[in-house]
Structure 1
Amino acid sequence: MDDIGEEKKLQGLLNGIFKRDYQGQEEYNDDFLYEQLYQNLDRKEFDDFIRKLRGIVNSMANTNMDQDQAETFLKAQAKKRGGVITSDRVEVVLKFWRNHKEKIHSQIISRTNWNGLTKWKLDINSYSSTKIINQPVAVLQFDTKSDNNQKETLRVEIDGKAMHNVLEQLDNIEDQLQKLGN
Protein backbone atom coordinates (compact mmCIF):
# COMPACT_ATOMS: atom_id res chain seq x y z
CA MET A 1 0.00 0.00 0.00
CA ASP A 2 1.21 3.47 -0.76
CA ASP A 3 0.31 4.84 2.66
CA ILE A 4 1.52 2.75 5.59
CA GLY A 5 -1.24 4.36 7.65
CA GLU A 6 -3.88 2.82 5.38
CA GLU A 7 -2.38 -0.64 5.89
CA LYS A 8 -2.47 -0.18 9.68
CA LYS A 9 -6.07 1.06 9.50
CA LEU A 10 -7.13 -2.00 7.53
CA GLN A 11 -5.31 -4.28 9.98
CA GLY A 12 -7.05 -2.51 12.85
CA LEU A 13 -10.43 -2.83 11.17
CA LEU A 14 -9.95 -6.55 10.49
CA ASN A 15 -8.83 -7.10 14.08
CA GLY A 16 -11.89 -5.18 15.29
CA ILE A 17 -14.17 -7.34 13.15
CA PHE A 18 -12.47 -10.44 14.57
CA LYS A 19 -12.83 -9.27 18.16
CA ARG A 20 -16.50 -8.38 17.75
CA ASP A 21 -17.74 -11.16 15.50
CA TYR A 22 -15.64 -14.06 16.76
CA GLN A 23 -14.64 -13.13 20.31
CA GLY A 24 -17.87 -11.40 21.34
CA GLN A 25 -16.24 -8.10 22.32
CA GLU A 26 -19.22 -5.86 21.62
CA GLU A 27 -17.27 -2.67 22.35
CA TYR A 28 -15.72 -3.06 18.89
CA ASN A 29 -18.91 -1.84 17.24
CA ASP A 30 -19.07 0.08 13.97
CA ASP A 31 -19.19 3.46 15.73
CA PHE A 32 -16.02 2.70 17.70
CA LEU A 33 -14.15 1.38 14.65
CA TYR A 34 -15.21 4.38 12.59
CA GLU A 35 -14.10 6.87 15.24
CA GLN A 36 -10.78 5.13 15.83
CA LEU A 37 -9.80 4.31 12.27
CA TYR A 38 -11.80 5.86 9.45
CA GLN A 39 -13.08 9.31 10.39
CA ASN A 40 -11.68 10.53 7.07
CA LEU A 41 -14.37 8.53 5.23
CA ASP A 42 -17.97 9.58 4.88
CA ARG A 43 -19.97 7.50 7.38
CA LYS A 44 -22.09 5.91 4.66
CA GLU A 45 -18.93 4.90 2.76
CA PHE A 46 -17.50 3.39 5.95
CA ASP A 47 -20.69 1.44 6.66
CA ASP A 48 -20.61 0.02 3.13
CA PHE A 49 -16.88 -0.73 3.42
CA ILE A 50 -17.16 -2.61 6.72
CA ARG A 51 -20.27 -4.51 5.58
CA LYS A 52 -18.47 -5.76 2.48
CA LEU A 53 -15.28 -6.54 4.39
CA ARG A 54 -17.22 -8.53 6.99
CA GLY A 55 -18.88 -10.42 4.13
CA ILE A 56 -15.50 -11.35 2.71
CA VAL A 57 -14.19 -12.53 6.09
CA ASN A 58 -17.41 -14.50 6.65
CA SER A 59 -17.11 -16.14 3.23
CA MET A 60 -13.55 -17.16 3.99
CA ALA A 61 -14.56 -18.44 7.43
CA ASN A 62 -17.69 -20.31 6.36
CA THR A 63 -15.79 -22.21 3.69
CA ASN A 64 -12.71 -22.67 5.92
CA MET A 65 -10.36 -21.51 3.16
CA ASP A 66 -6.73 -22.49 3.32
CA GLN A 67 -4.12 -19.85 2.47
CA ASP A 68 -4.02 -20.69 -1.25
CA GLN A 69 -7.81 -20.65 -1.55
CA ALA A 70 -7.94 -17.36 0.33
CA GLU A 71 -5.36 -15.82 -1.98
CA THR A 72 -7.24 -16.94 -5.09
CA PHE A 73 -10.53 -15.68 -3.64
CA LEU A 74 -9.07 -12.30 -2.64
CA LYS A 75 -7.37 -11.78 -6.00
CA ALA A 76 -10.71 -12.50 -7.71
CA GLN A 77 -12.36 -9.99 -5.36
CA ALA A 78 -9.70 -7.42 -6.26
CA LYS A 79 -10.68 -7.72 -9.92
CA LYS A 80 -14.30 -6.85 -9.18
CA ARG A 81 -15.21 -3.33 -10.09
CA GLY A 82 -16.17 -1.27 -7.05
CA GLY A 83 -15.20 -4.06 -4.66
CA VAL A 84 -13.78 -3.51 -1.21
CA ILE A 85 -10.61 -5.53 -1.88
CA THR A 86 -8.00 -3.83 -4.00
CA SER A 87 -4.74 -5.41 -5.12
CA ASP A 88 -3.01 -3.40 -2.36
CA ARG A 89 -5.31 -4.86 0.30
CA VAL A 90 -4.90 -8.53 -0.67
CA GLU A 91 -1.67 -9.01 1.32
CA VAL A 92 -3.09 -7.30 4.42
CA VAL A 93 -6.17 -9.53 4.41
CA LEU A 94 -4.03 -12.63 3.73
CA LYS A 95 -1.80 -11.80 6.71
CA PHE A 96 -4.90 -11.34 8.88
CA TRP A 97 -6.27 -14.67 7.66
CA ARG A 98 -2.99 -16.47 8.30
CA ASN A 99 -2.95 -15.15 11.88
CA HIS A 100 -6.64 -15.65 12.71
CA LYS A 101 -7.94 -18.55 10.60
CA GLU A 102 -7.58 -21.22 13.29
CA LYS A 103 -9.13 -19.03 15.99
CA ILE A 104 -12.05 -18.17 13.72
CA HIS A 105 -12.53 -21.82 12.74
CA SER A 106 -12.47 -22.90 16.41
CA GLN A 107 -15.07 -20.27 17.26
CA ILE A 108 -17.34 -21.40 14.42
CA ILE A 109 -17.02 -25.02 15.56
CA SER A 110 -17.87 -24.07 19.15
CA ARG A 111 -21.01 -22.31 17.89
CA THR A 112 -22.19 -25.51 16.23
CA ASN A 113 -23.14 -27.13 19.49
CA TRP A 114 -26.23 -26.76 21.63
CA ASN A 115 -26.20 -27.87 25.24
CA GLY A 116 -23.31 -30.22 24.53
CA LEU A 117 -25.74 -32.67 22.94
CA THR A 118 -26.83 -31.40 19.55
CA LYS A 119 -24.19 -30.70 16.94
CA TRP A 120 -24.35 -29.61 13.34
CA LYS A 121 -22.05 -28.52 10.59
CA LEU A 122 -22.22 -25.83 7.97
CA ASP A 123 -21.69 -26.88 4.41
CA ILE A 124 -21.80 -25.30 0.98
CA ASN A 125 -24.05 -26.88 -1.63
CA SER A 126 -22.16 -27.63 -4.79
CA TYR A 127 -25.15 -29.31 -6.41
CA SER A 128 -28.79 -29.19 -5.57
CA SER A 129 -31.95 -30.38 -7.23
CA THR A 130 -33.39 -26.95 -6.46
CA LYS A 131 -30.47 -25.32 -8.29
CA ILE A 132 -29.43 -23.36 -5.22
CA ILE A 133 -25.68 -23.70 -5.17
CA ASN A 134 -22.84 -22.10 -3.24
CA GLN A 135 -25.19 -21.21 -0.39
CA PRO A 136 -24.26 -22.17 3.18
CA VAL A 137 -26.52 -24.77 4.72
CA ALA A 138 -26.61 -26.39 8.13
CA VAL A 139 -26.65 -30.16 8.14
CA LEU A 140 -28.43 -31.49 11.23
CA GLN A 141 -28.13 -35.14 12.09
CA PHE A 142 -30.29 -36.61 14.83
CA ASP A 143 -29.56 -40.11 16.07
CA THR A 144 -32.49 -41.79 17.81
CA LYS A 145 -33.33 -45.23 19.13
CA SER A 146 -36.61 -46.96 18.49
CA ASP A 147 -38.48 -49.08 21.04
CA ASN A 148 -36.45 -52.14 20.05
CA ASN A 149 -33.17 -50.19 20.55
CA GLN A 150 -32.53 -49.99 16.83
CA LYS A 151 -30.62 -46.83 15.94
CA GLU A 152 -32.19 -44.54 13.37
CA THR A 153 -30.77 -41.37 11.86
CA LEU A 154 -32.62 -38.32 10.64
CA ARG A 155 -30.59 -35.92 8.51
CA VAL A 156 -31.92 -32.46 7.62
CA GLU A 157 -30.38 -29.63 5.59
CA ILE A 158 -31.56 -26.10 6.31
CA ASP A 159 -30.35 -22.60 5.50
CA GLY A 160 -28.77 -20.22 8.00
CA LYS A 161 -32.00 -18.40 8.80
CA ALA A 162 -33.83 -21.63 9.55
CA MET A 163 -30.88 -22.78 11.70
CA HIS A 164 -31.14 -19.58 13.72
CA ASN A 165 -34.86 -20.27 14.26
CA VAL A 166 -34.12 -23.86 15.35
CA LEU A 167 -31.57 -22.61 17.89
CA GLU A 168 -34.06 -20.09 19.27
CA GLN A 169 -36.64 -22.83 19.70
CA LEU A 170 -34.10 -25.13 21.37
CA ASP A 171 -33.24 -22.32 23.79
CA ASN A 172 -36.95 -21.84 24.53
CA ILE A 173 -37.34 -25.57 25.21
CA GLU A 174 -34.31 -25.53 27.49
CA ASP A 175 -35.72 -22.53 29.41
CA GLN A 176 -39.07 -24.29 29.85
CA LEU A 177 -37.38 -27.47 31.07
CA GLN A 178 -35.34 -25.48 33.58
CA LYS A 179 -38.50 -23.78 34.87
CA LEU A 180 -40.16 -27.17 35.32
CA GLY A 181 -37.11 -28.42 37.20
CA ASN A 182 -37.24 -25.56 39.71
Structure 2
Amino acid sequence: MTWSCDAVAVIMADAENAKALSGLLNGIAQSRYYGNLEITEELLKTELYSELPLQEFKALHDKMQGIIKSIASADMDLNQIEAFLTAQTKKQGGITAEQSVVIAKFWKNHKKKIRESLINQTRWENQLKNLKWRVDVKSQSKHSDQVNSAAAIVEMEIGTKDKQSEFLCLELNEAKLNEMLKKLNEVEESLAALTQIS
Protein backbone atom coordinates (compact mmCIF):
# COMPACT_ATOMS: atom_id res chain seq x y z
CA MET A 1 0.00 0.00 0.00
CA THR A 2 1.42 3.36 -1.02
CA TRP A 3 0.39 6.67 0.44
CA SER A 4 0.15 9.84 -1.56
CA CYS A 5 2.04 12.88 -0.34
CA ASP A 6 -1.29 14.62 0.38
CA ALA A 7 -2.52 11.71 2.54
CA VAL A 8 0.71 11.68 4.52
CA ALA A 9 0.50 15.45 5.01
CA VAL A 10 -3.09 15.14 6.32
CA ILE A 11 -2.09 12.37 8.75
CA MET A 12 0.88 14.43 9.97
CA ALA A 13 -1.31 17.52 10.42
CA ASP A 14 -3.91 15.53 12.38
CA ALA A 15 -1.19 14.13 14.65
CA GLU A 16 0.24 17.63 15.23
CA ASN A 17 -3.24 19.05 15.97
CA ALA A 18 -3.93 16.24 18.46
CA LYS A 19 -0.55 16.82 20.13
CA ALA A 20 -1.16 20.58 20.41
CA LEU A 21 -4.68 20.08 21.81
CA SER A 22 -3.39 17.54 24.32
CA GLY A 23 -0.77 20.07 25.40
CA LEU A 24 -3.44 22.76 25.73
CA LEU A 25 -5.66 20.53 27.88
CA ASN A 26 -2.70 19.58 30.08
CA GLY A 27 -1.74 23.25 30.39
CA ILE A 28 -5.28 24.21 31.44
CA ALA A 29 -5.26 21.42 34.03
CA GLN A 30 -1.87 22.55 35.33
CA SER A 31 -2.90 26.17 35.76
CA ARG A 32 -6.50 25.74 36.86
CA TYR A 33 -6.47 22.55 38.93
CA TYR A 34 -2.88 21.78 39.93
CA GLY A 35 -1.84 25.29 40.98
CA ASN A 36 1.03 25.72 38.52
CA LEU A 37 1.06 29.50 38.12
CA GLU A 38 3.88 29.37 35.56
CA ILE A 39 1.47 28.02 32.93
CA THR A 40 -0.30 31.01 31.40
CA GLU A 41 -2.47 31.51 28.34
CA GLU A 42 0.39 33.42 26.71
CA LEU A 43 2.80 30.54 27.30
CA LEU A 44 0.35 28.01 25.88
CA LYS A 45 -0.23 30.18 22.81
CA THR A 46 3.49 30.69 22.21
CA GLU A 47 4.45 27.04 22.74
CA LEU A 48 1.49 25.28 21.11
CA TYR A 49 -0.35 27.61 18.74
CA SER A 50 2.16 30.24 17.66
CA GLU A 51 0.70 30.35 14.12
CA LEU A 52 -2.92 30.78 15.28
CA PRO A 53 -4.28 34.34 15.52
CA LEU A 54 -4.77 35.51 19.12
CA GLN A 55 -8.59 35.72 18.90
CA GLU A 56 -8.86 32.17 17.51
CA PHE A 57 -6.53 30.86 20.21
CA LYS A 58 -8.51 32.67 22.93
CA ALA A 59 -11.75 31.15 21.60
CA LEU A 60 -10.19 27.65 21.52
CA HIS A 61 -8.69 28.06 25.01
CA ASP A 62 -11.97 29.28 26.50
CA LYS A 63 -13.94 26.49 24.79
CA MET A 64 -11.59 23.79 26.09
CA GLN A 65 -11.50 25.31 29.56
CA GLY A 66 -15.32 25.33 29.61
CA ILE A 67 -15.49 21.71 28.47
CA ILE A 68 -13.01 20.59 31.15
CA LYS A 69 -14.94 22.57 33.77
CA SER A 70 -18.22 20.91 32.74
CA ILE A 71 -16.67 17.45 32.77
CA ALA A 72 -14.89 18.00 36.09
CA SER A 73 -17.82 19.58 37.93
CA ALA A 74 -20.06 16.67 36.88
CA ASP A 75 -17.28 14.17 37.70
CA MET A 76 -18.21 12.28 34.53
CA ASP A 77 -17.49 8.59 34.13
CA LEU A 78 -16.45 7.14 30.75
CA ASN A 79 -20.04 6.60 29.55
CA GLN A 80 -21.12 10.10 30.53
CA ILE A 81 -18.13 11.73 28.86
CA GLU A 82 -18.76 9.78 25.67
CA ALA A 83 -22.36 11.02 25.54
CA PHE A 84 -21.30 14.58 26.46
CA LEU A 85 -18.58 14.74 23.81
CA THR A 86 -20.86 13.25 21.16
CA ALA A 87 -23.37 16.00 21.90
CA GLN A 88 -20.56 18.58 21.67
CA THR A 89 -19.57 17.32 18.20
CA LYS A 90 -23.15 17.69 16.94
CA LYS A 91 -23.57 21.19 18.40
CA GLN A 92 -22.99 24.14 16.09
CA GLY A 93 -19.68 25.73 17.02
CA GLY A 94 -18.85 22.63 19.07
CA ILE A 95 -15.84 20.38 18.73
CA THR A 96 -14.59 18.01 16.04
CA ALA A 97 -14.55 14.23 16.34
CA GLU A 98 -10.74 14.36 16.54
CA GLN A 99 -10.90 16.85 19.42
CA SER A 100 -13.44 14.60 21.12
CA VAL A 101 -10.98 11.69 21.09
CA VAL A 102 -8.20 13.83 22.57
CA ILE A 103 -10.48 15.22 25.30
CA ALA A 104 -11.71 11.72 26.25
CA LYS A 105 -8.13 10.46 26.52
CA PHE A 106 -7.16 13.52 28.58
CA TRP A 107 -10.06 12.97 31.01
CA LYS A 108 -9.27 9.28 31.38
CA ASN A 109 -5.72 10.19 32.43
CA HIS A 110 -6.55 13.19 34.65
CA LYS A 111 -9.94 12.41 36.21
CA LYS A 112 -8.66 11.18 39.56
CA LYS A 113 -6.11 13.95 40.02
CA ILE A 114 -8.51 16.75 39.03
CA ARG A 115 -11.19 15.34 41.34
CA GLU A 116 -8.74 15.29 44.26
CA SER A 117 -7.69 18.85 43.44
CA LEU A 118 -11.30 20.07 43.43
CA ILE A 119 -11.98 18.36 46.76
CA ASN A 120 -8.85 19.91 48.31
CA GLN A 121 -9.79 23.36 47.01
CA THR A 122 -13.14 23.19 48.81
CA ARG A 123 -11.66 22.25 52.20
CA TRP A 124 -10.95 25.06 54.58
CA GLU A 125 -11.20 23.22 57.89
CA ASN A 126 -9.08 20.52 59.45
CA GLN A 127 -9.77 16.99 58.34
CA LEU A 128 -9.33 13.59 59.89
CA LYS A 129 -6.18 12.21 58.30
CA ASN A 130 -5.82 8.99 60.24
CA LEU A 131 -7.70 7.04 62.90
CA LYS A 132 -6.44 4.15 65.02
CA TRP A 133 -8.21 2.41 67.84
CA ARG A 134 -7.67 -0.46 70.19
CA VAL A 135 -9.13 -1.96 73.35
CA ASP A 136 -6.90 -2.14 76.43
CA VAL A 137 -7.46 -3.75 79.80
CA LYS A 138 -6.28 -1.72 82.78
CA SER A 139 -3.79 -3.55 84.96
CA GLN A 140 -3.16 -0.67 87.35
CA SER A 141 -5.29 2.16 88.67
CA LYS A 142 -5.64 4.47 91.65
CA HIS A 143 -9.03 2.87 92.27
CA SER A 144 -9.15 -0.89 92.69
CA ASP A 145 -12.60 -1.18 91.02
CA GLN A 146 -11.08 0.04 87.70
CA VAL A 147 -8.46 -2.73 87.51
CA ASN A 148 -9.20 -5.30 84.76
CA SER A 149 -11.79 -2.98 83.17
CA ALA A 150 -11.72 -2.52 79.39
CA ALA A 151 -11.04 0.87 77.84
CA ALA A 152 -11.20 1.90 74.20
CA ILE A 153 -8.21 3.99 73.13
CA VAL A 154 -8.88 6.16 70.06
CA GLU A 155 -6.02 8.04 68.40
CA MET A 156 -6.86 10.63 65.71
CA GLU A 157 -4.56 12.62 63.44
CA ILE A 158 -6.20 15.92 62.51
CA GLY A 159 -4.91 18.64 60.19
CA THR A 160 -4.76 20.11 56.73
CA LYS A 161 -2.45 19.38 53.86
CA ASP A 162 -0.36 22.51 54.47
CA LYS A 163 -0.07 22.44 58.26
CA GLN A 164 1.52 20.06 60.72
CA SER A 165 -0.95 17.54 62.11
CA GLU A 166 -2.32 17.53 65.62
CA PHE A 167 -2.97 14.30 67.48
CA LEU A 168 -5.90 13.63 69.75
CA CYS A 169 -6.05 10.62 72.05
CA LEU A 170 -9.27 9.58 73.79
CA GLU A 171 -9.74 6.93 76.42
CA LEU A 172 -13.32 5.71 76.78
CA ASN A 173 -14.74 3.26 79.27
CA GLU A 174 -17.69 1.08 78.29
CA ALA A 175 -20.33 3.61 79.41
CA LYS A 176 -18.70 6.52 77.55
CA LEU A 177 -18.22 4.39 74.44
CA ASN A 178 -21.90 3.37 74.44
CA GLU A 179 -22.92 7.01 74.91
CA MET A 180 -20.72 8.08 71.98
CA LEU A 181 -22.14 5.31 69.75
CA LYS A 182 -25.67 6.41 70.65
CA LYS A 183 -24.86 10.03 69.67
CA LEU A 184 -23.30 8.87 66.39
CA ASN A 185 -26.44 6.86 65.61
CA GLU A 186 -28.56 9.97 66.24
CA VAL A 187 -26.36 11.98 63.86
CA GLU A 188 -26.61 9.22 61.23
CA GLU A 189 -30.41 9.14 61.52
CA SER A 190 -30.61 12.94 61.25
CA LEU A 191 -28.42 12.93 58.12
CA ALA A 192 -30.49 10.14 56.58
CA ALA A 193 -33.71 12.09 57.27
CA LEU A 194 -32.23 15.24 55.69
CA THR A 195 -31.10 13.43 52.56
CA GLN A 196 -34.55 11.87 52.10
CA ILE A 197 -36.23 15.29 52.34
CA SER A 198 -34.12 16.85 49.59
Among 42, 47, 50, the residue aligned to 1:36: 47
User: Which amino acid in the other structure matches residue 24 of structure 1?
Assistant: G
1:99 positional shift: 0.3
User: Which amino acid in the other structure matches residue 61 of structure 1?
Assistant: A
Among 31, 37, 44, the residue aligned to 1:26: 37
Among 86, 98, 103, the residue aligned to 2:113: 103
Distance 1:74 1:98 in 2: 13
Distance 1:78 1:26 in 2: 31
Q: RMSD in angstroms over aligned alpha carbons?
A: 2.1
User: Which amino acid in the other structure matches residue 24 of structure 2?
Assistant: L
Per the alignment, residue 28 of structure 2 pairs with 17
**TM-score normalised to structure 2 length:** 0.57
| Residue-by-residue CA offset, 1:53-96 (whole Å, 9 max, x unaligned) | 1000000000000011011101100111112x211111111100
| Residue-by-residue CA offset, 1:109-156 (whole Å, 9 max, x unaligned) | 111211326xxxxxxxxxxxxxxxxxxxxxxxxxxxxxxx99899x9x
Among 103, 109, 112, the residue aligned to 1:93: 103
Name the larger-Rg structure. 2
Per the alignment, residue 82 of structure 1 pairs with 93
Aligned residues: 122
Among 123, 129, 137, the residue aligned to 1:113: 123
User: Which amino acid in the other structure matches residue 23 of structure 2?
Assistant: G
Identity within the alignment, %: 40
**TM-score normalised to structure 1 length:** 0.62
Query: Which of 17-26 and 30-39 deviates more?
Result: 17-26
Distance 1:71 1:54 in 2: 18
Structure 2: give runs of 5+ residues left out of the alignment: 1-9, 128-182
Runs ≥4 residues deviating over 2 A? 149-153
User: Which amino acid in the other structure matches residue 104 of structure 2?
Assistant: L
